[in-house]
Amino acid sequence: MNIDYWTQRLIGRATCSLAPGARLLRTARIRNIRGNSACIRIGAKSLIAGELLVFRHGGVIEIGEWCYVGENSRIWSAASIRIGRRVLISHGVNIMDSLTHPLNAHKRHEQFRSIVDRGHPANIDLDEKPVTIGDDAWIGTGAVILRGVHVGKGAVIGAGAVVSNDVPNFCVAAGNPTQVIRELSDDER
């Protein structure tokens, strides 16, 4: 049997746990640096077109059922990112639960050297804070969800928003920094 280069690279490597009917689309990229497929769990009937990454020193990504992660979106976890059910994440969205690099310049350079020479470090403090996104939320294209944020159930995040504070249930939030624009009406919930 002739196995192509990309298939051969994936044999024996951790990727993710897919529930029945969940699919990784052609543009999806799973970067499971932790090496444990249970650290990235994708719920039933969800479609992933973007990138999911867990760092070597930690990280868990849980995506509920019937979710969508758009092309060029990145969900990077060093702690915990939990996405509820029926969540739509548009294209070009970034969700991160850490700083991704140390603030201290010397430590940042040491991390970079480690990545280049040996791969991601197994022990590092990136000031991780969990992120949660409630059921039925919609994250608009180009939005950025930062560490420690809770996006409420049914919330709508506007395109290009930078979310650094919690967003209540059933609200529309937009801007940089994000502000609640209005509550959703009963027929919009």
Which residues are marked as active site? 101
Provide the β-strand partners of residue 174: 179
Q: Hey, what are 163's tokens?
A: 């979310």
Question: Helix (H, G, I), strand (E, B), or coil: what is residue 136?
Answer: coil
Q: What is the rounded CA–CA span in Å between residue 96 and residue 31? A: 14
* CA atoms in the 13 A half-sphere facing the CB of 108: 8
Give the span between the Cα atoms of 165 and 127, in whole angstroms. Answer: 16
3-state secondary structure 145-167: ECCCCEECCCCEECCCCEECCCE
Question: Residues with Cβ < 8 Å from 51, sequence gap 6 or more?
Answer: 28, 29, 30, 31, 73, 74, 75, 76
